[in-house]
C-alpha cells in the first residue's frame, strides 16, 4: 500500500510482539495434542506456528541479508514448520521437521521416522526453508570483500550454490512446477503460491550468480576473473541467463490462468529483473557474429514480450507494475533486439536510478566511511523507501568513500567484456554506456524517478528485498484494501512521517 515508513517500523514492533508472546516456542511438548484438556486446540497451535513463521519471513525479507536490519535469528525459532493444508483444515495433529532439513524438535519421540514426518510438510514449509537459504545468499553478496574467490570448491559461493540446488531437489512431485501440479494447486487456490515458490528459487539463483555480471548489477567489491577462469565466468553468465528465462516461463504460464495468480507484490520486480538479465546477455555476452546468437535471440524474444504482458496484467495489483512495464518496453525497443541493429555496446540500465546520477553522489566507489544499510540495499526495499519518507535527512551514504578490496568501478570493462570485444570496441562501449540514446531513456521516465528516489549512489544491489503478500493466497489478501490508508487501527502507532511516503 506504499506506506513504507510505517511498514518498516511495524516490522520491528512485530518482532517485539513475538518475543512478548513467546510464539517462537511450542506451547508445550504435547505436539500431537493427546491431552485435549491442557492447552489450546490443534488449530490454535498450528495458527501460532504459522504466525511466527510469517513474522520470520517478514523479518528476513525486510532485512535483506543486512545484519543490522535482521532481528529474528534462526536459532531462536524453536518450533516445527507449518503442516500441509489438508492436515490444517481437517484439524489433524501431526509432526513436521524444523528449519534444518532432516531435523525435528528434541522432545519428539525417538521412534519417529523421517518418512512419517516429511509428508506432513506443505508449500509453506518449503517456502520458509528457501527464505532461510536466500537470507544467507543475500548476506554473502553484501560481503564479497570478505569472501573466498568463487571458483574455489570450498568457497562460500560453492556452498550456497549447493544449498540452493539441494533445496530445489528436495521438493516433492506435488510442489514441482509441472502441469499436473499446477492444476492441482489451482484447484486448491495455491497456484499463486506455487509460482512464488519457484520464482523465489530462480530469483535467488540470479542473485547468487550475479557475480558473473558485475557491470549489470554494479556490484561493490566485484571479483576479478583471471584468464584461466574464463570458462567459470561463462558458466556463471549462462546460469544467470537460464534462470532469467525460467522466471519468464513460470510467470508467463501462471499469468495464463488469470491476473489474480500474480498478486504477490514481489513478482513485478522479479519479472522486470528477468527481462533486464536477458537483454544484457543478448547484447553484451553473446557474439553478434555467431549464428547461435540469432537462434537464441529468436527463442528469447517471446519471453521478453511475455514479461511485458505479465507486467501489464499486474498493473491493477501493484503500484510499480505499470512503471516497470513501461521501462521494460523502452529497454526492449532501444536494445534493438529482434531488429538488424542491436545495441551491442549498451548495458541495459535499470529504472531505479536517473541517468548520470552516479557521478553526483560518490566520487570514489568502494566502502563508505560510515557503514549504513543504504549502501547495499535495493531502492525498492522497505528500509530505503522508509528512509526516503522520514524527514530526518542525515545521509552518511553521500560521504566520501575509500576503495574496498576487489572493488570495481561502475561500467568497468576489465573482466566483464565478452571475448569478442576488441580494444577499439571497448573504448566505444565505455562512452556508449553513458549515451541516453542507447540506454533506457531515464530522463523521460519522470514517474520512475519520483518513485525510485533521486539520491542513490551506484552501489545498490537490485532485487535484494522481496515484499511478498501471503504465499497461500490465490489473490489479494484481506488487508489489501480492507483498511483505511489514512486511519490506522487503534493499536498501530501513527508516525508523523507516514503520509510523506
Give CA–CA dist 467/458, Å, rounded. Answer: 22
The mean-pLDDT minimum among 223-232, 298-307, 375-384, 473-482 falls in 473-482
pLDDT computed for residue 340 by the predictor: 52
Q: What is the mean pLDDT of residues 314-341?
A: 84
Q: What is the mean pLDDT of residues 202-227?
A: 89
Looking at the predicted structure, is the pLDDT value of residue 226 above 80? yes
Q: What is the mean pLDDT of residues 307-318?
A: 93
- CA 66 to centroid of chain Cα atoms: 14
Give CA–CA dist 319/163, Å, rounded. Answer: 34
pLDDT computed for residue 378 by the predictor: 57
Q: Alpha helix locations (H) across 282-356?
A: 291-313, 321-335
pLDDT computed for residue 52 by the predictor: 97
Note every long-range contact of 486-493, with CB atoms under 8 Å and residues 24 or more positions apart, other chains counting.
Answer: 488/6, 492/6, 492/10, 493/9, 493/13
The mean-pLDDT minimum among 68-77, 170-179, 289-298, 404-413 falls in 404-413
Looking at the predicted structure, is the pLDDT value of residue 368 above 80? no
What pLDDT band is residue 365 in, cutting at 50, 70 and 90?
A: very low
Q: Which residue has the higher pLDDT, 467 or 322?
A: 322
Q: Which residue has the higher pLDDT, 367 or 485?
A: 367
Helix, strand or coil, per DSSP, at residue 342: coil
Q: What is the mean pLDDT of residues 65-83?
A: 92
What pLDDT band is residue 394 in, cutting at 50, 70 and 90?
A: low
Give CA–CA dist 214/413, Å, rounded. Answer: 10
Q: Residues with Cβ < 8 Å from 251, sequence gap 6 or more?
A: 195, 199, 262, 267, 270, 271, 274, 306, 307, 310
pLDDT computed for residue 377 by the predictor: 62
State pTM to two decimals. Answer: 0.74
Looking at the predicted structure, is the pLDDT value of residue 359 above 70? no
pLDDT computed for residue 25 by the predictor: 94
The mean-pLDDT minimum among 13-27, 81-95, 378-392, 487-501 falls in 487-501
Asked if residues 419 and 235 have their Cβ atoms less than 8 Å apart, the reply is no
Q: What is the mean pLDDT of residues 15-41?
A: 89
pLDDT computed for residue 459 by the predictor: 33
The C-alpha cell that represents 291 in the structure block: 549464428
Query: For the chain, how long is the longest CA-to-CA vector?
Result: 81
Give CA–CA dist 323/88, Å, rounded. Answer: 39
Q: Which has the closest alpha carbon to 326: 183, 442, 462, 437?
A: 442
pLDDT computed for residue 474 by the predictor: 40
| 162 sits in which H/E element | helix 156-169
Asked if residues 264 and 200 have their Cβ atoms less than 8 Å apart, the reply is no
pLDDT computed for residue 274 by the predictor: 96
Looking at the predicted structure, is the pLDDT value of residue 130 above 80? yes
Q: Residues with Cβ < 8 Å from 466, sequence gap 6 or more?
A: 61, 200, 203, 266, 269, 270
pLDDT computed for residue 428 by the predictor: 30
What pLDDT band is residue 2 in, cutting at 50, 70 and 90?
A: low
Q: Cβ-count burial of 238 within 10 angstroms (0-12 exposed, 13-18 middle, 19+ buried)?
A: middle
Span 238-270, pLDDT tens digits: 999 999 999 999 999 999 999 999 999 889 999
Task: Report percent pLDDT > 90 for the chain.
Answer: 49
Q: Which residue has the higher pLDDT, 25 or 428?
A: 25
Q: Name the DSSP letter for residue 74.
A: G
What pLDDT band is residue 375 in, cutting at 50, 70 and 90?
A: low
Q: Residues with Cβ < 8 Å from 142, sequence gap 6 or more?
A: 65, 66, 376, 461
Looking at the predicted structure, is the pLDDT value of residue 162 above 50? yes
Give CA–CA dist 376/364, Å, rounded. Answer: 15
Looking at the predicted structure, is the pLDDT value of residue 373 above 90? no
- CA 432 to centroid of chain Cα atoms: 29
Q: Name the DSSP letter for residue 173.
A: G
Give CA–CA dist 66/77, Å, rounded. Answer: 19
Q: Which has the closest alpha carbon to 266: 186, 208, 201?
A: 201
Q: Which residue has the higher pLDDT, 320 or 341?
A: 320
What pLDDT band is residue 191 in, cutting at 50, 70 and 90?
A: very high
Q: What is the mean pLDDT of residues 207-223?
A: 86
Span 134-156, pLDDT tens digits: 999 999 998 898 999 999 999 99
Residue showing cell 489450546: 40
Span 415-468, pLDDT tens digits: 444 444 433 233 333 333 333 333 333 233 343 333 333 333 333 333 333 333
pLDDT computed for residue 449 by the predictor: 35
Asked if residues 323 and 451 have their Cβ atoms less than 8 Å apart, the reply is yes
Name the average pLDDT for the chain: 76
pLDDT computed for residue 35 by the predictor: 82
Looking at the predicted structure, is the pLDDT value of residue 132 above 70? yes
- CA 42 to centroid of chain Cα atoms: 34
Q: Which has the closest alpha carbon to 101: 87, 72, 121, 71?
A: 121
> CB neighbours (10 Å) of residue 118?
15
Q: How far apart are the first and last CA of the chain?
A: 10
Is the C-alpha dihedral spanning 363, 366, 368, 371 positive or negative? positive
The mean-pLDDT minimum among 73-77, 313-317, 446-450 falls in 446-450
Q: Which has the closest alpha carbon to 93: 33, 145, 35, 144?
A: 33
Give CA–CA dist 329/44, Å, rounded. Answer: 48
**What residues pair up with 78 in beta bridges, in sequence order?**
25
Q: Which has the closest alpha carbon to 236: 178, 276, 272, 277?
A: 277
Amino acid at each position: 500500500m506504499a506506506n513504507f515508513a510505517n511498514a518498516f517500523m511495524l516490522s520491528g514492533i512485530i518482532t517485539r510482539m513475538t518475543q512478548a508472546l513467546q510464539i517462537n516456542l511450542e506451547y508445550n511438548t504435547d505436539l500431537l495434542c493427546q491431552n485435549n484438556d491442557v492447552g489450546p486446540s490443534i488449530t490454535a497451535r498450528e495458527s501460532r506456528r504459522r504466525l511466527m513463521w510469517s513474522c520470520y519471513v517478514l523479518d528476513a525479507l525486510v532485512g535483506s541479508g543486512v545484519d543490522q536490519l535482521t532481528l529474528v535469528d534462526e536459532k531462536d525459532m524453536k518450533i516445527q514448520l507449518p503442516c500441509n493444508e489438508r492436515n490444517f483444515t481437517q484439524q489433524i495433529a501431526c509432526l513436521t521437521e524444523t528449519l534444518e532439513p532432516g531435523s525435528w524438535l528434541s522432545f519428539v519421540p525417538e521412534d519417529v521416522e523421517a518418512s512419517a514426518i516429511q509428508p506432513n510438510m506443505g508449500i509453506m514449509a518449503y517456502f520458509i526453508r528457501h527464505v532461510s537459504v536466500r537470507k544467507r545468499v543475500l548476506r554473502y553478496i553484501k560481503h564479497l570483500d570478505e569472501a573466498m574467490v568463487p571458483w574455489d570448491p570450498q568457497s562460500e559461493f560453492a556452498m550456497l550454490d549447493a544449498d540452493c540446488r539441494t533445496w530445489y531437489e528436495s521438493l516433492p512431485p506435488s510442489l514441482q512446477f509441472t502441469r499436473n501440479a499446477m492444476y492441482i494447486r489451482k484447484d486448491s487456490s495455491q497456484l499463486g503460491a506455487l509460482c512464488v515458490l519457484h520464482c523465489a528459487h530462480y530469483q535467488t539463483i540470479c542473485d547468487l550468480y550475479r557475480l558473473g555480471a558485475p557491470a549489470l548489477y554494479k556490484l561493490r567489491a566485484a571479483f576479478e576473473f583471471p584468464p584461466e577462469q574464463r570458462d567459470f565466468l561463462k558458466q556463471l553468465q549462462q546460469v544467470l541467463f537460464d534462470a532469467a528465462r525460467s522466471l519468464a516461463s513460470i510467470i508467463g504460464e501462471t499469468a495464463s490462468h488469470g491476473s489474480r495468480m500474480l498478486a504477490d507484490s514481489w513478482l513485478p520486480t522479479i519479472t522486470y529483473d528477468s527481462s533486464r538479465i536477458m537483454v544484457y546477455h543478448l547484447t553484451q555476452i553473446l557474439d553478434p557474429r555467431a549464428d547461435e546468437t540469432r537462434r537464441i535471440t529468436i527463442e528469447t524474444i517471446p519471453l521478453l514480450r511475455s514479461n511485458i504482458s505479465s507486467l501489464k496484467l499486474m498493473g491493477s495489483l501493484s503500484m510499480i507494475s505499470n512503471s516497470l512495464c513501461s521501462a521494460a518496453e523502452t529497454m526492449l525497443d532501444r536494445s534493438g533486439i529482434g531488429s538488424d541493429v542491436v545495441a551491442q555496446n549498451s548495458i541495459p540500465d535499470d529504472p531505479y536510478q536517473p541517468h548520470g546520477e552516479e557521478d553526483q553522489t560518490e566520487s570514489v566507489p568502494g566502502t563508505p566511511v560510515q557503514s549504513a544499510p543504504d549502501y547495499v540495499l535495493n531502492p525498492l526495499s522497505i528500509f530505503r523507501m522508509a528512509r526516503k519518507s522520514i524527514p530526518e535527512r542525515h545521509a552518511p551514504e553521500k560521504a566520501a568513500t575509500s576503495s574496498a578490496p576487489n572493488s570495481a568501478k561502475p561500467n568497468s570493462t576489465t573482466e566483464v567484456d565478452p571475448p569478442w570485444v576488441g580494444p577499439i570496441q571497448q573504448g566505444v562501449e565505455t562512452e556508449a554506456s553513458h549515451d541516453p540514446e542507447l540506454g533506457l531513456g531515464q530522463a523521460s521516465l519522470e514517474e520512475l524517478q519520483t518513485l525510485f528516489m533521486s539520491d542513490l549512489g551506484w552501489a545498490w544491489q537490485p532485487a535484494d528485498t522481496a515484499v511478498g503478500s501471503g504465499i497461500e493466497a490465490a489473490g489479494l489478501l484481506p488487508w489489501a484494501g480492507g483498511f483505511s490508508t489514512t486511519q490506522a487501527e487503534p493499536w498501530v502507532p501513527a508516525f508523523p512521517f507516514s503520509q510523506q511516503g
